[in-house]
Structure 1
Protein backbone atom coordinates (compact mmCIF):
# COMPACT_ATOMS: atom_id res chain seq x y z
CA UNK A 1 0.00 0.00 0.00
CA UNK A 2 1.49 3.33 -1.00
CA UNK A 3 1.52 6.31 1.31
CA UNK A 4 0.22 9.71 0.20
CA UNK A 5 2.78 12.46 -0.32
CA UNK A 6 2.59 15.08 2.47
CA UNK A 7 0.90 18.21 1.14
CA UNK A 8 3.64 20.49 2.47
CA UNK A 9 6.39 18.66 0.57
CA UNK A 10 7.09 20.14 -2.85
CA UNK A 11 7.69 17.84 -5.81
CA UNK A 12 11.39 17.60 -6.66
CA UNK A 13 11.19 19.87 -9.70
CA UNK A 14 9.14 22.49 -7.86
CA UNK A 15 11.45 22.31 -4.84
CA UNK A 16 14.48 22.96 -7.07
CA UNK A 17 12.67 25.88 -8.69
CA UNK A 18 11.87 27.39 -5.29
CA UNK A 19 15.47 26.88 -4.14
CA UNK A 20 16.74 28.73 -7.23
CA UNK A 21 14.26 31.53 -6.67
CA UNK A 22 15.33 31.85 -3.03
CA UNK A 23 19.00 31.88 -4.06
CA UNK A 24 18.32 34.72 -6.50
CA UNK A 25 16.49 36.73 -3.86
CA UNK A 26 19.29 36.17 -1.32
CA UNK A 27 21.86 37.22 -3.91
CA UNK A 28 19.87 40.34 -4.77
CA UNK A 29 19.59 41.37 -1.13
CA UNK A 30 23.30 40.79 -0.59
CA UNK A 31 24.27 42.81 -3.66
CA UNK A 32 22.06 45.67 -2.49
CA UNK A 33 24.27 45.99 0.59
CA UNK A 34 27.07 47.32 -1.61
CA UNK A 35 25.39 48.54 -4.79
CA UNK A 36 22.29 50.40 -5.93
CA UNK A 37 19.70 47.96 -7.26
CA UNK A 38 19.22 50.04 -10.41
CA UNK A 39 22.91 49.57 -11.21
CA UNK A 40 22.70 45.78 -11.02
CA UNK A 41 22.35 43.68 -14.16
CA UNK A 42 20.39 40.45 -14.40
CA UNK A 43 23.63 38.67 -15.33
CA UNK A 44 25.28 39.97 -12.15
CA UNK A 45 22.39 38.78 -9.99
CA UNK A 46 22.34 35.35 -11.65
CA UNK A 47 26.11 34.96 -11.24
CA UNK A 48 25.93 35.82 -7.55
CA UNK A 49 23.14 33.25 -7.12
CA UNK A 50 25.11 30.59 -8.97
CA UNK A 51 22.57 30.13 -11.74
CA UNK A 52 22.01 31.15 -15.34
CA UNK A 53 20.29 34.21 -16.78
CA UNK A 54 17.75 31.80 -18.25
CA UNK A 55 16.98 30.50 -14.76
CA UNK A 56 16.37 34.08 -13.65
CA UNK A 57 13.86 34.72 -16.44
CA UNK A 58 12.11 31.42 -15.83
CA UNK A 59 11.24 32.66 -12.32
CA UNK A 60 10.82 36.40 -12.81
CA UNK A 61 9.24 38.16 -15.78
CA UNK A 62 11.84 40.91 -15.68
CA UNK A 63 14.08 42.91 -13.36
CA UNK A 64 11.10 44.96 -12.15
CA UNK A 65 9.33 41.78 -11.06
CA UNK A 66 12.48 40.71 -9.24
CA UNK A 67 12.62 44.10 -7.53
CA UNK A 68 9.08 43.67 -6.21
CA UNK A 69 10.03 40.24 -4.91
CA UNK A 70 12.97 41.76 -3.02
CA UNK A 71 10.77 44.45 -1.49
CA UNK A 72 8.19 41.85 -0.45
CA UNK A 73 10.88 39.59 1.01
CA UNK A 74 12.37 42.42 3.04
CA UNK A 75 8.96 43.45 4.36
CA UNK A 76 8.09 39.89 5.32
CA UNK A 77 11.33 38.75 6.92
CA UNK A 78 13.57 41.64 7.96
CA UNK A 79 13.22 42.33 11.70
CA UNK A 80 11.45 45.47 12.90
CA UNK A 81 14.16 47.63 14.55
CA UNK A 82 12.16 48.09 17.77
CA UNK A 83 11.48 44.76 19.54
CA UNK A 84 8.43 44.34 21.79
CA UNK A 85 8.70 45.43 25.41
CA UNK A 86 10.43 42.82 27.54
CA UNK A 87 11.87 44.61 30.58
CA UNK A 88 9.70 47.32 32.15
CA UNK A 89 12.73 48.53 34.14
CA UNK A 90 15.02 49.03 31.15
CA UNK A 91 16.33 52.64 31.18
CA UNK A 92 14.84 54.86 28.50
CA UNK A 93 18.28 55.93 27.31
CA UNK A 94 19.17 52.28 26.67
CA UNK A 95 15.95 51.74 24.70
CA UNK A 96 16.58 54.78 22.50
CA UNK A 97 20.19 53.80 21.88
CA UNK A 98 19.05 50.30 20.90
CA UNK A 99 16.50 51.71 18.46
CA UNK A 100 18.95 54.09 16.78
CA UNK A 101 21.65 51.42 16.46
CA UNK A 102 19.28 48.84 14.96
CA UNK A 103 17.62 51.28 12.55
CA UNK A 104 20.91 52.69 11.29
CA UNK A 105 22.33 49.17 10.82
CA UNK A 106 19.26 48.21 8.78
CA UNK A 107 19.62 51.25 6.53
CA UNK A 108 23.31 50.63 6.00
CA UNK A 109 22.67 47.02 5.09
CA UNK A 110 19.78 47.69 2.72
CA UNK A 111 20.87 51.04 1.29
CA UNK A 112 20.83 49.93 -2.36
CA UNK A 113 17.33 48.50 -2.09
CA UNK A 114 16.01 51.43 -0.06
CA UNK A 115 17.41 53.95 -2.54
CA UNK A 116 15.77 52.18 -5.47
CA UNK A 117 12.48 51.87 -3.57
CA UNK A 118 12.39 55.59 -2.80
CA UNK A 119 13.07 56.49 -6.42
CA UNK A 120 10.55 54.06 -7.87
CA UNK A 121 7.87 54.98 -5.34
CA UNK A 122 7.80 58.48 -6.83
CA UNK A 123 5.92 57.01 -9.79
CA UNK A 124 4.55 53.89 -8.07
CA UNK A 125 3.61 54.93 -4.49
CA UNK A 126 2.47 51.43 -3.54
CA UNK A 127 6.11 50.30 -3.50
CA UNK A 128 6.73 52.35 -0.36
CA UNK A 129 3.69 50.96 1.47
CA UNK A 130 5.53 48.01 3.12
CA UNK A 131 8.21 50.41 4.41
CA UNK A 132 5.56 52.81 5.68
CA UNK A 133 3.79 50.01 7.55
CA UNK A 134 7.03 48.79 9.09
CA UNK A 135 7.88 52.31 10.21
CA UNK A 136 4.43 52.59 11.78
CA UNK A 137 4.90 49.28 13.57
CA UNK A 138 8.31 50.49 14.76
CA UNK A 139 6.71 53.61 16.26
CA UNK A 140 3.85 51.59 17.80
CA UNK A 141 6.31 49.33 19.59
CA UNK A 142 8.42 52.22 20.81
CA UNK A 143 5.36 54.00 22.18
CA UNK A 144 4.38 50.81 24.01
CA UNK A 145 7.84 50.37 25.49
CA UNK A 146 8.25 53.95 26.66
CA UNK A 147 4.70 54.07 28.04
CA UNK A 148 5.78 51.53 30.65
CA UNK A 149 8.09 54.16 32.14
CA UNK A 150 5.85 57.19 31.50
CA UNK A 151 2.24 55.96 31.66
CA UNK A 152 0.83 59.39 32.55
CA UNK A 153 2.55 61.43 29.84
CA UNK A 154 -0.26 62.60 27.50
CA UNK A 155 2.12 63.85 24.81
CA UNK A 156 4.52 60.91 24.73
CA UNK A 157 2.98 59.24 21.68
CA UNK A 158 3.10 62.44 19.63
CA UNK A 159 6.76 63.03 20.50
CA UNK A 160 7.72 59.44 19.71
CA UNK A 161 5.99 59.47 16.33
CA UNK A 162 7.58 62.78 15.40
CA UNK A 163 11.00 61.50 16.50
CA UNK A 164 10.52 58.46 14.26
CA UNK A 165 9.51 60.75 11.37
CA UNK A 166 12.71 62.74 11.92
CA UNK A 167 14.80 59.57 12.06
CA UNK A 168 13.42 57.96 8.91
CA UNK A 169 13.40 61.26 7.03
CA UNK A 170 17.05 61.88 7.86
CA UNK A 171 18.09 58.35 6.89
CA UNK A 172 16.04 58.33 3.69
CA UNK A 173 17.69 61.61 2.72
CA UNK A 174 21.14 60.22 3.54
CA UNK A 175 20.51 57.14 1.40
CA UNK A 176 18.97 59.02 -1.51
CA UNK A 177 21.12 62.12 -1.98
CA UNK A 178 23.71 62.07 0.86
CA UNK A 179 23.60 65.85 1.48
CA UNK A 180 25.82 65.75 4.56
CA UNK A 181 27.39 66.96 6.68
CA UNK A 182 27.29 63.39 8.02
CA UNK A 183 27.13 60.52 5.55
CA UNK A 184 25.49 57.15 6.19
CA UNK A 185 28.77 55.45 7.14
CA UNK A 186 30.11 58.31 9.25
CA UNK A 187 30.82 57.05 12.76
CA UNK A 188 29.41 60.29 14.18
CA UNK A 189 26.00 59.79 12.61
CA UNK A 190 24.77 57.33 15.25
CA UNK A 191 25.49 59.53 18.30
CA UNK A 192 24.07 62.60 16.54
CA UNK A 193 20.87 60.75 15.62
CA UNK A 194 20.57 59.51 19.20
CA UNK A 195 21.08 63.03 20.57
CA UNK A 196 18.30 64.43 18.35
CA UNK A 197 16.01 61.44 19.00
CA UNK A 198 16.47 61.77 22.76
CA UNK A 199 15.96 65.53 22.68
CA UNK A 200 12.58 65.19 20.98
CA UNK A 201 11.31 62.37 23.19
CA UNK A 202 12.82 63.07 26.61
CA UNK A 203 13.79 66.75 26.65
CA UNK A 204 11.12 68.57 24.60
Structure 2
Protein backbone atom coordinates (compact mmCIF):
# COMPACT_ATOMS: atom_id res chain seq x y z
CA UNK A 1 0.00 0.00 0.00
CA UNK A 2 2.81 2.43 0.89
CA UNK A 3 4.55 1.73 -2.40
CA UNK A 4 1.31 2.28 -4.33
CA UNK A 5 0.69 5.60 -2.59
CA UNK A 6 4.20 6.78 -3.40
CA UNK A 7 3.88 5.71 -7.02
CA UNK A 8 0.58 7.62 -7.32
CA UNK A 9 2.44 10.80 -6.47
CA UNK A 10 5.02 10.40 -9.22
CA UNK A 11 2.99 8.72 -11.95
CA UNK A 12 -0.66 8.70 -12.94
CA UNK A 13 -2.33 5.63 -11.40
CA UNK A 14 -3.91 4.57 -14.68
CA UNK A 15 -0.44 4.43 -16.24
CA UNK A 16 0.94 2.19 -13.49
CA UNK A 17 1.23 -1.51 -14.09
CA UNK A 18 0.77 -4.22 -11.50
CA UNK A 19 4.40 -5.18 -12.13
CA UNK A 20 5.55 -1.63 -11.25
CA UNK A 21 3.48 -1.64 -8.06
CA UNK A 22 4.82 -5.06 -7.05
CA UNK A 23 8.42 -4.08 -7.81
CA UNK A 24 8.10 -0.88 -5.78
CA UNK A 25 6.71 -2.92 -2.90
CA UNK A 26 9.52 -5.46 -3.17
CA UNK A 27 7.18 -8.33 -3.88
CA UNK A 28 6.22 -10.48 -6.82
CA UNK A 29 3.25 -9.97 -9.11
CA UNK A 30 1.89 -13.21 -7.67
CA UNK A 31 2.08 -11.74 -4.16
CA UNK A 32 0.19 -8.70 -5.39
CA UNK A 33 -2.59 -10.91 -6.77
CA UNK A 34 -2.73 -12.94 -3.57
CA UNK A 35 -3.75 -9.74 -1.78
CA UNK A 36 -5.80 -7.95 -4.45
CA UNK A 37 -8.08 -9.29 -7.17
CA UNK A 38 -6.73 -6.77 -9.68
CA UNK A 39 -5.40 -3.23 -10.02
CA UNK A 40 -8.91 -1.81 -9.46
CA UNK A 41 -9.18 -3.75 -6.20
CA UNK A 42 -5.84 -2.30 -5.16
CA UNK A 43 -7.08 1.19 -6.04
CA UNK A 44 -10.21 0.71 -3.92
CA UNK A 45 -8.01 -0.42 -1.04
CA UNK A 46 -5.90 2.75 -1.43
CA UNK A 47 -9.04 4.91 -1.39
CA UNK A 48 -10.39 3.06 1.65
CA UNK A 49 -7.10 3.46 3.49
CA UNK A 50 -7.02 7.18 2.67
CA UNK A 51 -10.58 7.56 3.97
CA UNK A 52 -9.60 5.91 7.25
CA UNK A 53 -6.56 8.16 7.60
CA UNK A 54 -8.67 11.24 6.79
CA UNK A 55 -10.67 10.67 9.94
CA UNK A 56 -7.71 12.01 11.89
CA UNK A 57 -5.97 14.14 9.25
CA UNK A 58 -8.13 17.27 9.43
CA UNK A 59 -8.53 18.49 12.97
CA UNK A 60 -12.03 19.26 14.07
CA UNK A 61 -12.70 22.88 14.90
CA UNK A 62 -11.72 23.27 18.56
CA UNK A 63 -14.38 23.37 21.22
CA UNK A 64 -12.74 26.33 22.98
CA UNK A 65 -15.20 29.20 22.42
CA UNK A 66 -12.42 31.68 23.15
CA UNK A 67 -10.27 30.60 20.22
CA UNK A 68 -10.38 33.29 17.53
CA UNK A 69 -12.48 32.37 14.50
CA UNK A 70 -9.62 33.33 12.20
CA UNK A 71 -7.42 30.72 13.88
CA UNK A 72 -10.08 28.04 13.46
CA UNK A 73 -10.57 28.84 9.78
CA UNK A 74 -6.80 28.94 9.21
CA UNK A 75 -6.42 25.47 10.77
CA UNK A 76 -9.16 24.02 8.57
CA UNK A 77 -7.73 25.50 5.37
CA UNK A 78 -4.13 24.56 6.24
CA UNK A 79 -5.04 20.95 7.09
CA UNK A 80 -7.18 20.56 3.96
CA UNK A 81 -4.46 21.96 1.70
CA UNK A 82 -1.81 19.77 3.35
CA UNK A 83 -3.95 16.70 2.73
CA UNK A 84 -4.36 17.58 -0.96
CA UNK A 85 -0.65 18.26 -1.35
CA UNK A 86 0.26 14.98 0.31
CA UNK A 87 -2.08 12.85 -1.83
CA UNK A 88 -2.61 14.78 -5.04
CA UNK A 89 -2.02 11.72 -7.24
CA UNK A 90 -4.50 9.54 -5.40
CA UNK A 91 -7.02 12.38 -5.30
CA UNK A 92 -6.59 12.99 -9.04
CA UNK A 93 -7.13 9.31 -9.82
CA UNK A 94 -10.15 9.15 -7.49
CA UNK A 95 -11.79 12.18 -9.09
CA UNK A 96 -11.23 10.79 -12.58
CA UNK A 97 -12.51 7.35 -11.71
CA UNK A 98 -15.49 8.73 -9.80
CA UNK A 99 -16.84 10.13 -13.07
CA UNK A 100 -17.82 6.57 -13.99
CA UNK A 101 -17.93 5.13 -10.46
CA UNK A 102 -19.38 7.86 -8.21
CA UNK A 103 -19.17 5.71 -5.08
CA UNK A 104 -15.39 6.15 -5.08
CA UNK A 105 -15.76 9.83 -4.14
CA UNK A 106 -18.36 9.15 -1.43
CA UNK A 107 -15.86 8.81 1.47
CA UNK A 108 -14.36 12.18 0.53
CA UNK A 109 -17.79 13.76 0.26
CA UNK A 110 -18.85 12.39 3.65
CA UNK A 111 -15.63 13.56 5.26
CA UNK A 112 -16.12 17.06 3.86
CA UNK A 113 -19.68 17.12 5.16
CA UNK A 114 -18.52 16.02 8.63
CA UNK A 115 -15.95 18.79 8.76
CA UNK A 116 -18.52 21.35 7.59
CA UNK A 117 -21.00 20.11 10.20
CA UNK A 118 -18.45 20.59 12.97
CA UNK A 119 -17.53 24.05 11.74
CA UNK A 120 -21.19 25.10 11.55
CA UNK A 121 -21.71 23.87 15.11
CA UNK A 122 -18.56 25.63 16.29
CA UNK A 123 -19.50 28.95 14.67
CA UNK A 124 -23.18 28.91 15.61
CA UNK A 125 -22.52 30.78 18.86
CA UNK A 126 -20.76 33.60 16.98
CA UNK A 127 -23.84 34.40 14.91
CA UNK A 128 -26.90 33.29 16.86
CA UNK A 129 -30.01 33.47 14.76
CA UNK A 130 -28.10 33.88 11.49
CA UNK A 131 -30.27 31.90 9.07
CA UNK A 132 -27.57 31.83 6.38
CA UNK A 133 -24.52 30.78 8.40
CA UNK A 134 -24.81 27.10 7.50
CA UNK A 135 -25.22 27.85 3.79
CA UNK A 136 -22.20 30.18 3.81
CA UNK A 137 -20.04 27.59 5.58
CA UNK A 138 -21.08 24.81 3.20
CA UNK A 139 -20.54 27.01 0.16
CA UNK A 140 -17.12 28.03 1.49
CA UNK A 141 -16.21 24.33 1.68
CA UNK A 142 -17.58 23.81 -1.84
CA UNK A 143 -15.30 26.61 -3.04
CA UNK A 144 -12.32 25.24 -1.10
CA UNK A 145 -12.70 21.65 -2.32
CA UNK A 146 -13.63 22.72 -5.83
CA UNK A 147 -10.57 24.93 -6.12
CA UNK A 148 -8.30 22.19 -4.79
CA UNK A 149 -9.89 19.53 -7.02
CA UNK A 150 -9.40 21.81 -10.01
CA UNK A 151 -5.77 22.44 -9.03
CA UNK A 152 -5.16 18.69 -8.76
CA UNK A 153 -6.87 17.86 -12.04
CA UNK A 154 -5.80 20.58 -14.44
CA UNK A 155 -3.71 23.14 -12.51
CA UNK A 156 -5.28 26.14 -14.25
CA UNK A 157 -3.52 28.79 -12.18
CA UNK A 158 -2.77 31.49 -11.45
CA UNK A 159 -1.73 29.63 -8.28
CA UNK A 160 -0.70 25.99 -8.34
CA UNK A 161 -1.14 23.48 -5.53
CA UNK A 162 2.47 23.87 -4.41
CA UNK A 163 2.52 27.69 -4.49
CA UNK A 164 3.08 29.16 -1.04
CA UNK A 165 0.56 31.94 -1.71
CA UNK A 166 -2.28 29.47 -2.31
CA UNK A 167 -2.97 28.88 1.37
CA UNK A 168 -3.35 32.58 2.10
CA UNK A 169 -5.65 33.14 -0.87
CA UNK A 170 -7.78 30.13 0.00
CA UNK A 171 -8.04 31.32 3.59
CA UNK A 172 -8.97 34.84 2.50
CA UNK A 173 -11.78 33.55 0.25
CA UNK A 174 -12.92 30.96 2.82
CA UNK A 175 -13.03 33.60 5.54
CA UNK A 176 -14.90 36.12 3.38
CA UNK A 177 -17.52 33.56 2.37
CA UNK A 178 -18.20 32.54 5.95
CA UNK A 179 -17.95 35.83 7.81
CA UNK A 180 -19.43 38.27 5.29
CA UNK A 181 -23.17 38.50 5.67
Find runs of 4+ consecutive structure 1 residues off by over 3 angstroms.
none
Whether the 8 Å CA contact 2:62–2:72 is kept in 1: the answer is: no
Structure 2 partner of 1:103: 80
Determine which of 123, 140, 148 is the counterpart of 1:146: 123
Which structure's residues are more often helix, by fraction?
A: 2
> Are residues 80 and 139 of structure 1, via their aligned partners in 2, closer, same or farther at CA, if it must alter by over 3 Å?
farther
The alpha-carbon deviation at position 94 of structure 1 amounts to 0.3
Mapped to 2, the partners of 1:92 and 1:36 lie a distance apart of 38
Deviations 1:106-156 (A, max 9, x none): 001111111111111111111111111111111111112222433332221
Structure 1 partner of 2:166: 189
Mapped to 2, the partners of 1:64 and 1:33 lie a distance apart of 17
TM-score scaled by structure 2?
0.92
Indicate yes or no: 2:14 matched with 1:38. Answer: yes
TM-score scaled by structure 1?
0.82
More displaced, 28-37 or 191-200? 28-37
Unpaired segments ≥5 residues, structure 2: none
More displaced, 159-168 or 139-148? 139-148
Structure 2 partner of 1:179: 156
Whether the 8 Å CA contact 1:33–1:108 is kept in 2: the answer is: no
Determine which of 113, 123, 127 is the counterpart of 2:104: 127
Mapped to 2, the partners of 1:157 and 1:133 lie a distance apart of 16
Determine which of 9, 30, 47 is the counterpart of 2:23: 47
Mapped to 2, the partners of 1:152 and 1:89 lie a distance apart of 20
Deviations 1:26-78 (A, max 9, x none): 22223333433223222222223222111001111111110011111111222
RMSD: 1.5
Aligned residues: 180
Unpaired segments ≥5 residues, structure 1: 1-24
Report the structure number with the largest CA radius of gyration.
Answer: 1
